[in-house]
Structure formats: C-alpha cells, structure tokens
Amino acid sequence: MKLKICGMKYQDNISEVAQLQPDFLGFIFHEPSARYFEETIPEISDTIEKIGVFVDEKVEFISRQIEKHKLSVIQLHGHESPELCRILKLSEVKIIKVFSIKDVFDFSVLNPYEEVCDFFLFDTKGKLSGGNGYTFNWDVLKKYPSTKPYFLSGGIGIEETENLKSFFKSDASKYCYAIDVNSKFELEAGLKNIELLKEFKNNLSC
C-alpha cells in the first residue's frame, strides 16, 4: 500500500518527511487553505512523486505550478469538469479527481471521469475542501463499481491503524492504491510530526 503525505508547507519539514520515503508528497495550491504552499520545493528523492492540489483553478495557473515545481500528479479537489481533466492530461501529468463521502455516495458521478483520470480519491465530506480531520464510513466503498485505483483519505491518523488493517482485508479495499494522511500528523497546520509519521508508516508495514 502506497503512502501520500499531504499539506506540506515548510522547507525543512519537507526535507525531513522526504527522508521517510513516502510514495507521494502533496502541496496545496489553494490560497484559503492554512496549508497553502508558497515556497520552493527543496530537492527530494526522484522516487517521491510531487502532487499539486488545486480547487477550481484555471488551467493556466495549474500549468504554471506544474512547470515551476515539476509536479508529476495533479489532484483536483473542487468541481472540475471532465474536460478540464482531459486538458490537463496533455501536460503529461497523472490526474487524481477527488470525491467527498459521508455515509452514502452516488457512484454514478464517477462515470464521466473514468476516461480522463488516473485515480480517484475519496475524502470526508465536510465544511472544508479537505483537512476536515475525521473519517467517512469506509463501508460505502463496498459498493465501489469501478476498477480504477483510488486513494483513501479523510481524517486518517495513527489511531486508525487497526481499522486500516481490517479494511485492507475487505473486498472494499480491492482497488485502494494509497493512503492519504494530513492533519492528524501535524504539530500545527502544514508542520508534520516526523516521529508520528515514522511510527504510522512502520505499523502499516507490519
């Protein structure tokens, strides 16, 4: 199972987190977010993919960030259309489209995105676009109708380790590609707790 650590903000902290060798680091390019990224990404291992997170941004802005930060994956967290996804794929990046879930979900909304996205990401439906700090009902994913790999997100902390292990044994996890963590591993918004992340990563691999 791959690991994405999202909401990176501070250069020294990014370098420290990168030493844990997660599969993905996420950078939020959405100004209202407390984790809005304005810095330059420090040199990190080529084995770590850099994900840019955007919310209803214009193609031109996203394209500038792809070029500036050498992003290989774009995560779309708003109401982006399938056509926007199609345009962005011309930049030879992978596309993650986010969908928010609480207790129920209409999976038919995924259909228009099947051909234009590489991954789906399921997050907790809340007041914010992301970083709401609590999980949704993962049982909803038992009805996942697609074969497209997805990221599991939404309030996942170290206290969810055993629940995650149980989830990985269920049919609902068949197409789960990666775990996405953020706010539950922070000392403050954007500043990650290295020791807690290390413990979580080690526990997941046991």
Q: Kindly give the confidence (pLDDT) of every residue in the chain, 206 residues in length, as a single tens digit, with 9 standing for 90 and above.
A: 999 999 999 999 999 999 999 999 999 999 999 999 999 999 999 999 999 999 999 999 999 999 999 999 999 999 999 999 999 999 999 999 999 998 899 999 999 999 999 999 999 976 555 444 679 999 999 999 999 999 999 999 999 999 999 999 999 999 999 999 999 999 999 999 999 999 999 998 87
Q: Are β-strands 186-188 and 191-192 bridged in parallel, bridged antiparallel, or unpaired?
A: antiparallel
Q: Where are the domains of the chain?
A: 2-205
pTM of the model: 0.95
Cα–Cα distance measured from residue 180 to residue 184, given in angstroms and rounded to the nearest whole number: 11
What topology does CATH give the domain 2-205? TIM Barrel (3.20.20)
Question: Distance (Å, rounded) from C-alpha 78 to C-alpha 96?
Answer: 11
